[in-house]
Structure 1
Amino acid sequence: MRVTDVEAVAAWVAPVATMIAAVMTAANLGARVTGWGFVVFVIGSVSWSIVGISSGQSNLLWTNGFLTFVNVIGVWRWLGRQAKYEDGGAAAATRSARSRVPTLFSAASLVGSKVTGPDGGTIGIVIDAMAKCDGAALAYVVVSEGGLGGVGERLHALDPAALVFGHDNVCAKFNADELAALPVLNPDQWPERLNGGSAH
Protein backbone atom coordinates (compact mmCIF):
# COMPACT_ATOMS: atom_id res chain seq x y z
CA MET A 1 0.00 0.00 0.00
CA ARG A 2 1.39 3.39 -1.00
CA VAL A 3 1.85 6.23 1.47
CA THR A 4 -0.93 8.20 -0.18
CA ASP A 5 -3.27 5.21 0.22
CA VAL A 6 -2.42 4.96 3.93
CA GLU A 7 -3.13 8.65 4.34
CA ALA A 8 -6.45 8.33 2.52
CA VAL A 9 -7.52 5.35 4.65
CA ALA A 10 -6.46 7.13 7.85
CA ALA A 11 -8.47 10.20 6.86
CA TRP A 12 -11.60 8.05 6.68
CA VAL A 13 -10.87 5.78 9.65
CA ALA A 14 -10.06 8.64 12.05
CA PRO A 15 -13.49 10.33 12.22
CA VAL A 16 -15.46 7.07 11.92
CA ALA A 17 -13.50 5.36 14.73
CA THR A 18 -13.77 8.44 16.93
CA MET A 19 -17.57 8.61 16.52
CA ILE A 20 -18.06 4.87 17.12
CA ALA A 21 -15.81 4.94 20.19
CA ALA A 22 -17.67 7.95 21.61
CA VAL A 23 -20.98 6.07 21.34
CA MET A 24 -19.52 2.92 22.91
CA THR A 25 -18.06 4.71 25.92
CA ALA A 26 -21.03 7.05 26.42
CA ALA A 27 -23.49 4.13 26.38
CA ASN A 28 -22.09 2.82 29.69
CA LEU A 29 -22.91 -0.81 28.84
CA GLY A 30 -20.33 -2.36 31.14
CA ALA A 31 -16.58 -2.61 31.52
CA ARG A 32 -15.96 -4.65 28.38
CA VAL A 33 -17.97 -2.47 26.00
CA THR A 34 -16.33 0.63 27.48
CA GLY A 35 -12.92 -1.03 27.19
CA TRP A 36 -13.45 -1.92 23.54
CA GLY A 37 -14.63 1.64 23.04
CA PHE A 38 -11.19 2.78 24.18
CA VAL A 39 -9.60 0.29 21.77
CA VAL A 40 -11.53 1.97 18.95
CA PHE A 41 -10.46 5.35 20.36
CA VAL A 42 -6.82 4.19 20.04
CA ILE A 43 -7.44 3.33 16.38
CA GLY A 44 -8.98 6.77 15.89
CA SER A 45 -6.21 8.70 17.63
CA VAL A 46 -3.49 6.80 15.74
CA SER A 47 -5.33 7.53 12.49
CA TRP A 48 -5.60 11.21 13.39
CA SER A 49 -1.85 11.19 14.11
CA ILE A 50 -1.20 9.81 10.64
CA VAL A 51 -3.39 12.56 9.20
CA GLY A 52 -1.41 15.10 11.23
CA ILE A 53 1.91 13.78 9.92
CA SER A 54 0.78 13.63 6.31
CA SER A 55 -0.75 17.12 6.38
CA GLY A 56 2.04 18.74 8.37
CA GLN A 57 -0.32 19.66 11.21
CA SER A 58 1.95 19.27 14.22
CA ASN A 59 -0.80 20.35 16.63
CA LEU A 60 -3.02 17.49 15.41
CA LEU A 61 -0.12 15.06 15.75
CA TRP A 62 0.84 16.09 19.30
CA THR A 63 -2.76 16.23 20.51
CA ASN A 64 -3.56 12.76 19.24
CA GLY A 65 -0.23 11.37 20.37
CA PHE A 66 -1.24 12.38 23.89
CA LEU A 67 -4.78 11.04 23.39
CA THR A 68 -3.35 7.69 22.26
CA PHE A 69 -1.51 7.45 25.58
CA VAL A 70 -4.71 8.33 27.50
CA ASN A 71 -6.76 5.85 25.48
CA VAL A 72 -4.27 3.03 26.16
CA ILE A 73 -4.74 3.73 29.88
CA GLY A 74 -8.48 3.49 29.28
CA VAL A 75 -8.03 0.10 27.62
CA TRP A 76 -5.96 -1.14 30.57
CA ARG A 77 -8.45 0.15 33.12
CA TRP A 78 -11.68 -1.10 31.51
CA LEU A 79 -10.56 -4.28 29.72
CA GLY A 80 -8.02 -5.17 32.38
CA ARG A 81 -8.64 -4.11 35.96
CA GLN A 82 -12.32 -3.14 35.82
CA ALA A 83 -13.32 -6.17 33.75
CA LYS A 84 -11.70 -8.45 36.35
CA TYR A 85 -13.57 -6.70 39.15
CA GLU A 86 -16.82 -7.05 37.22
CA ASP A 87 -16.12 -10.74 36.60
CA GLY A 88 -15.41 -11.29 40.30
CA GLY A 89 -18.67 -9.71 41.38
CA ALA A 90 -20.62 -11.56 38.68
CA ALA A 91 -19.05 -14.89 39.68
CA ALA A 92 -19.99 -14.43 43.34
CA ALA A 93 -23.54 -13.40 42.41
CA THR A 94 -23.89 -16.38 40.04
CA ARG A 95 -22.72 -18.86 42.68
CA SER A 96 -25.12 -17.26 45.15
CA ALA A 97 -28.00 -17.54 42.65
CA ARG A 98 -27.33 -21.28 42.35
CA SER A 99 -27.53 -21.81 46.09
CA ARG A 100 -30.74 -22.87 47.84
CA VAL A 101 -31.20 -19.38 49.31
CA PRO A 102 -29.47 -16.64 47.21
CA THR A 103 -27.77 -14.04 49.40
CA LEU A 104 -25.60 -11.87 47.14
CA PHE A 105 -25.94 -9.42 44.27
CA SER A 106 -23.27 -7.16 42.79
CA ALA A 107 -23.68 -3.56 43.96
CA ALA A 108 -21.57 -2.43 41.00
CA SER A 109 -24.09 -3.92 38.57
CA LEU A 110 -27.09 -2.48 40.43
CA VAL A 111 -26.92 0.92 38.70
CA GLY A 112 -28.44 0.53 35.24
CA SER A 113 -30.31 -2.66 36.15
CA LYS A 114 -33.83 -3.10 34.84
CA VAL A 115 -36.64 -3.08 37.38
CA THR A 116 -39.35 -5.56 36.49
CA GLY A 117 -42.90 -5.72 37.80
CA PRO A 118 -44.84 -8.81 38.97
CA ASP A 119 -45.65 -9.68 35.34
CA GLY A 120 -41.97 -9.64 34.35
CA GLY A 121 -42.22 -6.47 32.24
CA THR A 122 -39.70 -3.66 32.67
CA ILE A 123 -41.12 -0.75 34.66
CA GLY A 124 -37.99 1.28 35.38
CA ILE A 125 -34.20 1.51 35.59
CA VAL A 126 -32.06 1.77 38.72
CA ILE A 127 -30.26 5.12 38.77
CA ASP A 128 -28.52 4.83 42.15
CA ALA A 129 -28.81 3.41 45.64
CA MET A 130 -28.15 5.18 48.91
CA ALA A 131 -26.54 3.11 51.67
CA LYS A 132 -26.69 3.77 55.40
CA CYS A 133 -23.47 5.03 56.93
CA ASP A 134 -23.38 2.19 59.45
CA GLY A 135 -23.16 -0.24 56.54
CA ALA A 136 -26.16 -2.17 57.77
CA ALA A 137 -28.34 -1.89 54.69
CA LEU A 138 -29.53 0.17 51.75
CA ALA A 139 -31.51 3.25 52.76
CA TYR A 140 -33.38 3.53 49.46
CA VAL A 141 -33.04 2.83 45.75
CA VAL A 142 -33.60 5.54 43.12
CA VAL A 143 -35.45 4.32 40.04
CA SER A 144 -36.33 6.22 36.87
CA GLU A 145 -39.42 5.65 34.76
CA GLY A 146 -41.07 7.35 31.81
CA GLY A 147 -39.45 9.70 29.33
CA LEU A 148 -37.17 8.85 26.44
CA GLY A 149 -33.39 8.76 26.66
CA GLY A 150 -33.50 10.52 30.03
CA VAL A 151 -35.72 13.35 28.72
CA GLY A 152 -38.96 13.55 30.69
CA GLU A 153 -38.01 10.76 33.06
CA ARG A 154 -39.33 10.73 36.65
CA LEU A 155 -37.28 9.58 39.62
CA HIS A 156 -38.67 7.76 42.65
CA ALA A 157 -37.07 6.65 45.93
CA LEU A 158 -38.02 3.05 46.70
CA ASP A 159 -37.88 1.06 49.88
CA PRO A 160 -35.41 -1.82 49.33
CA ALA A 161 -37.89 -4.06 51.17
CA ALA A 162 -40.24 -3.65 48.18
CA LEU A 163 -37.58 -5.01 45.83
CA VAL A 164 -36.01 -8.41 45.26
CA PHE A 165 -32.41 -8.11 44.07
CA GLY A 166 -31.16 -10.69 41.61
CA HIS A 167 -27.81 -11.15 39.89
CA ASP A 168 -29.20 -9.80 36.61
CA ASN A 169 -32.21 -7.62 37.49
CA VAL A 170 -34.35 -6.14 40.27
CA CYS A 171 -37.90 -7.38 40.78
CA ALA A 172 -40.50 -5.01 42.25
CA LYS A 173 -43.57 -6.01 44.22
CA PHE A 174 -45.66 -3.38 42.42
CA ASN A 175 -46.58 -2.58 38.83
CA ALA A 176 -45.77 0.33 36.49
CA ASP A 177 -48.89 2.32 37.42
CA GLU A 178 -48.09 2.07 41.13
CA LEU A 179 -44.52 3.16 40.47
CA ALA A 180 -45.65 6.17 38.40
CA ALA A 181 -48.06 7.22 41.18
CA LEU A 182 -45.25 7.57 43.76
CA PRO A 183 -43.82 10.99 44.74
CA VAL A 184 -41.31 12.30 42.20
CA LEU A 185 -37.79 13.20 43.32
CA ASN A 186 -36.12 16.44 42.30
CA PRO A 187 -33.13 15.20 40.23
CA ASP A 188 -30.63 17.24 42.29
CA GLN A 189 -32.39 17.15 45.69
CA TRP A 190 -32.62 13.62 47.04
CA PRO A 191 -33.97 13.01 50.58
CA GLU A 192 -31.76 12.31 53.58
CA ARG A 193 -34.07 9.41 54.46
CA LEU A 194 -36.86 7.42 52.88
CA ASN A 195 -40.17 9.18 53.40
CA GLY A 196 -43.53 7.61 53.98
CA GLY A 197 -44.73 8.28 50.44
CA SER A 198 -42.21 5.99 48.79
CA ALA A 199 -43.00 2.43 47.81
CA HIS A 200 -42.73 -0.03 50.63
Structure 2
Amino acid sequence: MIRVLVVDDEQLVRSGLRLILEAAPDITVVGEAADGAAALVEAYRLRPDVVLLDVRMPGTDGLTAAPRVVAAGPKVIMLTTFDLDEYVHRALRAGAVGFLLKDTPPRELAAAVRTVAVGQAMLAPTVTRRLISSFAERGPARRTAARQQLDLLTDRELEIVREVARGHANAEIARRLAMSEATVKAHVSRALAKLQLANRVQVAILVHDADLL
Protein backbone atom coordinates (compact mmCIF):
# COMPACT_ATOMS: atom_id res chain seq x y z
CA MET A 1 0.00 0.00 0.00
CA ILE A 2 1.36 3.44 -0.99
CA ARG A 3 1.08 5.92 1.88
CA VAL A 4 0.36 9.52 0.87
CA LEU A 5 0.38 12.82 2.77
CA VAL A 6 -1.69 15.61 1.17
CA VAL A 7 -0.60 19.21 1.81
CA ASP A 8 -2.73 22.14 0.66
CA ASP A 9 -4.11 25.18 2.44
CA GLU A 10 -7.61 24.61 1.00
CA GLN A 11 -9.70 21.99 2.79
CA LEU A 12 -11.78 21.40 -0.34
CA VAL A 13 -8.69 20.58 -2.38
CA ARG A 14 -7.36 18.23 0.30
CA SER A 15 -10.71 16.45 0.55
CA GLY A 16 -10.93 16.08 -3.22
CA LEU A 17 -7.43 14.65 -3.48
CA ARG A 18 -8.12 12.24 -0.63
CA LEU A 19 -11.33 11.05 -2.29
CA ILE A 20 -9.58 10.46 -5.61
CA LEU A 21 -6.55 8.71 -4.17
CA GLU A 22 -8.42 6.45 -1.78
CA ALA A 23 -10.54 5.17 -4.66
CA ALA A 24 -7.37 3.38 -5.81
CA PRO A 25 -6.94 -0.05 -4.20
CA ASP A 26 -3.20 0.38 -3.61
CA ILE A 27 -3.12 3.96 -2.23
CA THR A 28 -4.07 5.30 1.19
CA VAL A 29 -3.98 8.89 2.43
CA VAL A 30 -2.39 8.72 5.88
CA GLY A 31 -2.68 12.40 6.70
CA GLU A 32 -3.26 15.99 5.65
CA ALA A 33 -1.58 19.32 6.39
CA ALA A 34 -2.48 22.93 5.61
CA ASP A 35 1.02 24.43 5.32
CA GLY A 36 4.67 23.54 4.94
CA ALA A 37 5.51 23.61 8.64
CA ALA A 38 2.73 21.15 9.45
CA ALA A 39 3.76 19.04 6.46
CA LEU A 40 7.23 18.59 7.89
CA VAL A 41 5.85 17.53 11.28
CA GLU A 42 3.49 15.04 9.63
CA ALA A 43 6.17 13.72 7.30
CA TYR A 44 8.30 12.70 10.27
CA ARG A 45 5.34 11.45 12.30
CA LEU A 46 3.52 9.46 9.60
CA ARG A 47 6.44 8.40 7.36
CA PRO A 48 4.49 8.59 4.07
CA ASP A 49 5.92 7.26 0.83
CA VAL A 50 4.74 10.25 -1.19
CA VAL A 51 3.86 13.84 -0.27
CA LEU A 52 1.65 15.97 -2.51
CA LEU A 53 2.84 19.47 -1.64
CA ASP A 54 1.11 22.66 -2.78
CA VAL A 55 3.49 25.29 -4.16
CA ARG A 56 1.87 28.35 -2.61
CA MET A 57 0.35 28.40 0.87
CA PRO A 58 0.12 30.97 3.69
CA GLY A 59 2.83 30.65 6.31
CA THR A 60 5.47 28.16 5.20
CA ASP A 61 4.84 27.55 1.51
CA GLY A 62 5.68 24.46 -0.48
CA LEU A 63 8.83 25.88 -2.01
CA THR A 64 10.29 26.62 1.41
CA ALA A 65 9.20 23.29 2.86
CA ALA A 66 10.22 21.06 -0.07
CA PRO A 67 13.90 20.46 0.83
CA ARG A 68 13.03 19.77 4.46
CA VAL A 69 10.25 17.36 3.55
CA VAL A 70 12.54 15.58 1.06
CA ALA A 71 15.14 15.24 3.83
CA ALA A 72 12.51 13.50 5.96
CA GLY A 73 12.42 10.65 3.46
CA PRO A 74 9.30 10.74 1.28
CA LYS A 75 9.13 11.43 -2.45
CA VAL A 76 7.66 14.89 -3.10
CA ILE A 77 5.35 15.95 -5.91
CA MET A 78 4.53 19.64 -6.14
CA LEU A 79 0.89 20.63 -6.66
CA THR A 80 0.56 23.70 -8.83
CA THR A 81 -1.34 25.59 -11.48
CA PHE A 82 -0.21 25.83 -15.10
CA ASP A 83 1.24 29.34 -14.65
CA LEU A 84 4.54 28.15 -13.24
CA ASP A 85 7.46 30.47 -12.54
CA GLU A 86 11.17 30.07 -12.01
CA TYR A 87 10.78 29.57 -8.26
CA VAL A 88 9.42 26.09 -8.94
CA HIS A 89 12.88 25.24 -10.25
CA ARG A 90 14.13 25.65 -6.68
CA ALA A 91 11.91 22.78 -5.63
CA LEU A 92 13.29 20.56 -8.40
CA ARG A 93 16.81 21.26 -7.24
CA ALA A 94 15.75 20.57 -3.66
CA GLY A 95 14.67 17.07 -4.61
CA ALA A 96 11.01 17.28 -5.62
CA VAL A 97 10.39 14.59 -8.23
CA GLY A 98 7.76 16.29 -10.32
CA PHE A 99 4.60 18.29 -10.61
CA LEU A 100 0.87 17.74 -10.84
CA LEU A 101 -1.67 20.27 -11.97
CA LYS A 102 -4.58 20.54 -9.58
CA ASP A 103 -6.99 19.61 -12.37
CA THR A 104 -5.12 16.39 -13.21
CA PRO A 105 -7.63 13.64 -14.10
CA PRO A 106 -8.15 11.11 -11.28
CA ARG A 107 -6.61 8.18 -13.16
CA GLU A 108 -3.49 10.21 -13.97
CA LEU A 109 -3.21 11.40 -10.37
CA ALA A 110 -3.13 7.85 -9.05
CA ALA A 111 -0.71 6.77 -11.78
CA ALA A 112 1.60 9.66 -10.92
CA VAL A 113 1.68 8.67 -7.26
CA ARG A 114 2.53 5.08 -8.23
CA THR A 115 5.28 6.25 -10.59
CA VAL A 116 6.92 8.39 -7.93
CA ALA A 117 6.55 5.76 -5.21
CA VAL A 118 8.75 3.32 -7.15
CA GLY A 119 11.47 5.93 -7.62
CA GLN A 120 10.71 7.34 -11.05
CA ALA A 121 10.39 11.05 -11.72
CA MET A 122 7.43 12.90 -13.18
CA LEU A 123 8.86 14.14 -16.45
CA ALA A 124 5.53 14.83 -18.14
CA PRO A 125 6.14 16.67 -21.42
CA THR A 126 3.51 19.34 -20.64
CA VAL A 127 4.84 20.22 -17.21
CA THR A 128 8.13 19.06 -15.75
CA ARG A 129 10.19 18.64 -18.91
CA ARG A 130 9.04 22.07 -20.06
CA LEU A 131 10.14 23.57 -16.75
CA ILE A 132 13.55 21.95 -16.89
CA SER A 133 14.27 23.15 -20.41
CA SER A 134 12.90 26.63 -19.69
CA PHE A 135 14.65 27.32 -16.41
CA ALA A 136 17.90 25.34 -16.52
CA GLU A 137 20.75 27.76 -15.91
CA ARG A 138 22.82 27.60 -19.09
CA GLY A 139 25.41 30.32 -18.54
CA PRO A 140 29.00 29.44 -19.49
CA ALA A 141 30.11 28.84 -15.90
CA ARG A 142 27.11 26.65 -15.13
CA ARG A 143 27.55 24.69 -18.36
CA THR A 144 31.22 24.08 -17.66
CA ALA A 145 30.55 22.96 -14.08
CA ALA A 146 27.77 20.62 -15.20
CA ARG A 147 29.93 19.04 -17.88
CA GLN A 148 32.77 18.52 -15.42
CA GLN A 149 30.36 16.75 -13.07
CA LEU A 150 29.08 14.55 -15.88
CA ASP A 151 32.66 13.56 -16.76
CA LEU A 152 32.41 11.19 -13.79
CA LEU A 153 30.15 8.94 -15.89
CA THR A 154 31.06 6.27 -18.39
CA ASP A 155 30.00 6.77 -22.01
CA ARG A 156 27.10 4.34 -21.51
CA GLU A 157 25.94 6.03 -18.32
CA LEU A 158 26.05 9.41 -20.04
CA GLU A 159 24.04 8.03 -22.95
CA ILE A 160 21.41 6.78 -20.52
CA VAL A 161 21.16 9.96 -18.44
CA ARG A 162 20.65 11.93 -21.65
CA GLU A 163 17.66 9.70 -22.33
CA VAL A 164 16.45 10.36 -18.79
CA ALA A 165 16.71 14.09 -19.48
CA ARG A 166 14.53 13.63 -22.55
CA GLY A 167 11.81 12.32 -20.25
CA HIS A 168 12.05 8.64 -21.13
CA ALA A 169 11.22 5.96 -18.56
CA ASN A 170 13.47 2.93 -18.05
CA ALA A 171 11.38 0.68 -20.30
CA GLU A 172 11.52 3.15 -23.17
CA ILE A 173 15.26 3.69 -22.72
CA ALA A 174 15.76 -0.07 -22.81
CA ARG A 175 13.91 -0.30 -26.12
CA ARG A 176 15.79 2.63 -27.64
CA LEU A 177 19.22 1.35 -26.59
CA ALA A 178 18.54 -2.38 -27.08
CA MET A 179 19.25 -3.40 -23.50
CA SER A 180 17.27 -4.87 -20.64
CA GLU A 181 15.22 -2.67 -18.34
CA ALA A 182 17.13 -4.05 -15.34
CA THR A 183 20.43 -2.98 -16.92
CA VAL A 184 19.08 0.52 -17.55
CA LYS A 185 17.92 0.75 -13.95
CA ALA A 186 21.35 -0.34 -12.72
CA HIS A 187 23.09 2.27 -14.88
CA VAL A 188 20.74 5.01 -13.63
CA SER A 189 21.39 4.01 -10.02
CA ARG A 190 25.16 4.07 -10.54
CA ALA A 191 24.95 7.46 -12.26
CA LEU A 192 22.92 8.91 -9.38
CA ALA A 193 25.48 7.62 -6.89
CA LYS A 194 28.46 8.98 -8.84
CA LEU A 195 26.82 12.38 -9.29
CA GLN A 196 25.56 12.45 -5.69
CA LEU A 197 22.05 13.30 -6.86
CA ALA A 198 18.77 12.24 -5.28
CA ASN A 199 16.58 11.49 -8.28
CA ARG A 200 16.06 11.52 -12.04
CA VAL A 201 14.75 15.08 -12.14
CA GLN A 202 18.04 16.38 -10.73
CA VAL A 203 19.92 14.33 -13.34
CA ALA A 204 17.75 15.83 -16.07
CA ILE A 205 18.45 19.36 -14.84
CA LEU A 206 22.19 18.66 -14.81
CA VAL A 207 22.12 17.39 -18.40
CA HIS A 208 20.17 20.45 -19.49
CA ASP A 209 22.58 22.71 -17.59
CA ALA A 210 25.43 21.04 -19.51
CA ASP A 211 23.53 21.75 -22.78
CA LEU A 212 24.00 18.17 -23.93
CA LEU A 213 20.64 17.85 -25.69
Q: Same fold (TM over 0.5)?
A: no
Q: What TM-score, normalized to structure 2?
A: 0.25
Q: What TM-score, normalized to structure 1?
A: 0.26
The higher relative CO (CA closer than 8 Å, separation ≥ 6) is in 2
Query: Counting helix residues as a fraction of each chain, which structure ranks higher?
Result: 2
